[in-house]
Structure 1
């Protein structure tokens, strides 16, 4: 196989070849590092790299497979880790000049599980500062670009993760989602991105107690997303919010013939780009071809839903960032500083109002999901923002008209952080004319993770996996 073919192998397929001794972890890691050498200057998806250490660990994994020793669920795979979580003794910057010299003193729970299962952290993936944007650039690391069209962002805040997977410089990779930060980049880069229900996967304090916040996988295939999700999931003794018992997802499912699928093109209030609408309708036809009934539904949601979600984010997330303003305000990006200032102004009464709205939203979504297996809607109302977009001063237009909320008014993800116990997966729906991918979200009943994966797997099987051939990959 060529380097490119190796780098775009599904992670699950690479593991099968490792076990059959038809591929070595060393071969895959060498190809991945060479691929990074070719693409990093263009895409800029990595912050820190650990290539020498990764090669040493690949040799150890190779020896395990050669000797028939017990191997972990991710043994020998190059795993990109978002540069916001921690690995003891390694740098973590959170995309900020404030933490450019920080060395972690502990390992985050999900990273510990990945390392225990033999995943090799060859690189850390870029984020916007403190992960508080739906695009990826920072003063510390510069602009991360979308491999499908370098003029656009790969999304955020897990943008470096998505760009790496799309470029073929990680086999599998991690993300986190507090307002769409897994699903937005999945949509922008033609990937599978999973926001598990709150409590399914552990996180670091204090955001393990923020029910909008979810750690989860990004991958090039549904099976790969399941592979990483099964490693990340389960109760953890340091995270009181994690659920018992551990949920292990299957990798094969029954057909969805006879399913009832609800869909909403705009969730009641979003303005949606015409190309996104076209690709969403085509995706719905795939579900119909599989024997599912598809019906449009009215959630009864208004822009109050987005306003309440933003209020929640500003009150907890923004207030957290605001603690840095007095000492480090001059080092912050424009967007992080603006977000922090909003956090300073947030009041408890506003936060309580956001909880009231979440309950009102679920009072219509919950009954719909009792009547339907899943809900489908676009992931993002636009294909992607410009790579250097700045929510503190820029306002995107959709179908020629400016939107009201420049922060996340174009992302159709945030309402489902308010609906945090619902599992949501984003899968590709097509491409826009500018080459940037688009995506759809599949939303399930509370804690019914397998349902959204069953629908996603059926869809992917019918459509065929993205990235499976040269013509389905970015031209870099």
Structure 2
């Protein structure tokens, strides 16, 4: 059996079934690992020790009575890390903000509820930036979360605690979310696969469940685990009328490298408008060569997006929706927010004051059409996940971000994720493409046609077999 902290979800379930491993033993190992390493990484904001231990004991008793053919819940006994943005009934729900100090969750978030109903055991909650509005993870309440590949760097955000925790071996599965790359960026910086579902696949909560950039997801260590857990959280939900039917069922066994033979895959190095770091470009080249060697046809295209269009559309969108919601939550007093949250609100609000939501929608339609036209005749699109190879920990990025091609007004412009929140029905999977000079992994995105989730997983599984995903250096 591999080291317990590097096991996949499916391997853990198999070990529980065969009784090689007890849910109690596994949970104990993970909580011990958190105690040993989280003083440095700081990915966990609390541990729900006693209720988790009771649930693990109950799961162990079920496994002890079951034979090989006994139907069991899909995730019975699997420890679950929960992004603090996702409510856990009875636990604090502060979103890392003093604005919500003392707030307690009345019920599980729908994604947490579905995973719990499938037998998963929420046992620890992971850090986020305040109101999940940054692509790094730090708050006055919880401190700075660090990347297990290089503690001087951030694991990304806003699901940075979840990404760092899975990469560090704290658990095999965590919840995540994504309105601007918040699942894919931590996946990229943590050497993990990270899947952004098409809008409507997974349920959210009011008011931002109606934000068509949004999705709630999972982070795991393997493509198969990602598919397995995603199947549990997708589908219509009575509390979210934006969810669609029927629930799409992903395969959880893949052909690996053989699956891409004959596929046509478009390749865009920079989407036409991003300043890509050399290590990121080299990672893309490595993936292209591997897929080509497996029999796929890789064709470089000129997508020719405009960074101004992407920024105007998305910043106005965030200004009209998320910034207004944050302003309401702090009673209009932005000084109650973290400095980076205040800057996010002010920056996006400026766009919203000069670009109406209707005008932003027109720009979104333009970007969507450019992506659709570029992908015509291809099975998928391959492009970097983040143009910048790493971001520093302990840096709130309040000023313009210096880049080789010139400064960026807002550091989010260094990530290549937002175009596919704009093209919100496209499934996207971030997968590792190598390791950069800082020790932080690099990553590519695999983009599918609207709702063509299976094609994305087929390519991702091929990359995983051809270029095995890295492990953090934590022992």
Q: Whole-Å Cα distance in 1 between the matches of residues 315 and 293 of structure 2?
A: 38
The within-5 A match list for 1:71-470 is 71-254=72-255, 255-307=259-311, 308-326=313-331, 329-345=334-350, 346-347=352-353, 349-393=355-399, 395-398=400-403, 400-467=404-471
Moved over 4 A (4+): none
**Equivalent residue for 1:470?**
none
Any conservation in 1 of the 2:327–2:333 contact (CA below 8 Å)?
no
Any conservation in 1 of the 2:316–2:349 contact (CA below 8 Å)?
no
Any conservation in 2 of the 1:322–1:344 contact (CA below 8 Å)?
no
Measure how far apart 1:442 and its partner are: 0.3
Provide, for residues 234-267 of structure 1, a one-character-per-residue CA deviation record: whole Å limited to 9, x for no partner.
1111111101011111112341101100011111
Q: Whole-Å Cα distance in 1 between the matches of residues 251 and 53 of structure 2?
A: 31
Q: TM-score, normalised by structure 1?
A: 0.95
**Equivalent residue for 2:45?**
47
Q: CA RMSD in A?
A: 1.6
Q: 1:28 aligns with which of 18, 21, 26?
A: 26
**Equivalent residue for 1:67?**
65
Q: Whole-Å Cα distance in 1 between the matches of residues 240 and 316 of structure 2?
A: 25
Q: Whole-Å Cα distance in 1 between the matches of residues 62 and 331 of structure 2?
A: 52
Residues 350, 130 of structure 1: CA spacing in aligned structure 2 closer, same or farther, 3 A cutoff?
same
Measure how far apart 1:474 and its partner are: 2.0
Secondary structure at 1:224 match in 2: helix
Secondary structure at 1:375 match in 2: strand
Measure how far apart 1:224 and its partner are: 1.0
Q: How many residues align?
A: 467
Measure how far apart 1:389 and its partner are: 2.0
Secondary structure at 1:347 match in 2: helix
Q: TM-score, normalised by structure 2?
A: 0.95
Structure 1 unaligned residues grouped into runs of 5+: 468-472
Q: Whole-Å Cα distance in 2 between the matches of residues 388 and 167 of structure 1?
A: 19
Residues 295, 258 of structure 1: CA spacing in aligned structure 2 closer, same or farther, 3 A cutoff?
same
Structure 2 unaligned residues grouped into runs of 5+: none
Measure how far apart 1:280 and its partner are: 0.9
Q: Whole-Å Cα distance in 2 between the matches of residues 224 and 117 of structure 1?
A: 14
Q: Whole-Å Cα distance in 1 between the matches of residues 363 and 411 of structure 2?
A: 19
Q: Whole-Å Cα distance in 2 between the matches of residues 15 and 386 of structure 1?
A: 36
Q: Whole-Å Cα distance in 2 between the matches of residues 391 and 464 of structure 1?
A: 33
Q: Whole-Å Cα distance in 2 between the matches of residues 424 and 124 of structure 1?
A: 25
Secondary structure at 2:92 match in 1: coil
Any conservation in 1 of the 2:202–2:217 contact (CA below 8 Å)?
yes
Any conservation in 1 of the 2:126–2:162 contact (CA below 8 Å)?
yes
Any conservation in 1 of the 2:176–2:216 contact (CA below 8 Å)?
yes
Measure how far apart 1:303 and its partner are: 1.3
Secondary structure at 1:237 match in 2: coil
Any conservation in 1 of the 2:38–2:44 contact (CA below 8 Å)?
yes
Q: Whole-Å Cα distance in 1 between the matches of residues 83 and 359 of structure 2?
A: 32
